[in-house]
Structure formats: C-alpha cells, structure tokens
Amino acid sequence: MATWVQLSDERLGLYEICVPSEYTKKVVMDISQILELPFDKERLTHKLDNNGEQGVGSVYLVEDEKRRVLLLLECANTDWLHTLCVLYDESLHPPIYKRMAQWDRLCREEYQQPRPEGYQLRNKRMEENPLFKQIFRKHRK
C-alpha cells in the first residue's frame, strides 16, 4: 500500500481537506476523475459504512504508482467529516490544486467555517506530521 511514496521527493504535492459526509462521494468521484484514477462507488460506500472501525478496511485508497498519484480517504470517522489526502506529481498541480481549493471553500462555507484571512491550501509534504502520515500510522494494522 503506497510503497512508492517518498515525502522527501520535491516533485510531489500533498494536499489535504476535510469533507462533510454529504459531499464525500461527489468530491472523491470528481478528484478521481481529474487524477484519472478509477472510482469505485460500491467500494467507497462499503468503506464509509464501517461505523468507526479502524484498520485497512476503513481507508479508501486508490493509486497509480507509475504516474505517481494517490488518493486517500479516511472513512473511520465517527464524525460527519472525512479527511481526503491527495498526493501527486506537481506536474499535475494546477488543475488538482484549483479543484481541491474549490471543494475546501465550498465545504467550509456550507458549515459556516470561513477560511481565515489570507488562507491558502498548502502543500503539506514537508510538514512534520501531516494528516496523511497520521492516517497511515493509525490504520496500518
């Protein structure tokens, strides 16, 4: 599972957003399409119905090692928010970044959580403990 990922690789971009449950399938389908990754609605629905269980069964992961692109959704959330992480070669950066920022803005506005002044979606690749790493550690059982 994602053995090719090296966050020290400067060519990679890592972006993370939180998505309310009512938007989750729509957002994952949209981002999957942009990344040219397969979207499996049935598998995603099964993962989202896990009732807070942890482990590999509660993570929706789609990747293409050859093109260096990965979509990870944590489904083990007992809250109504799911963390979506997208890791990809920065050559795809403009369309992915723009769409991730649009979804982030929409989801925040829907829940009256406006972005702070000057907020921008940031590449989390070099952060010490991004959600991406936390999710992998939490569910690698």
With 0-12 CB in 10 A as exposed, 13-18 as middle and 19+ as buried, what is 101? Answer: middle
- Over residues 86-137, the pLDDT tens digits come to 999 887 767 888 999 999 999 888 888 877 788 888 999 889 999 988 887 8
- Domain extents for the chain? 12-118
Structure tokens at 131: 């959600």
- Over residues 29-85, the pLDDT tens digits come to 999 999 999 999 999 998 888 765 666 667 899 999 988 899 999 987 667 889 999
Highest CATH level, class, for 12-118: alpha beta
Predicted TM-score of the model (pTM): 0.89
Query: Does residue 85 contact residue 100 with C-beta atoms inside 8 Å?
Result: no
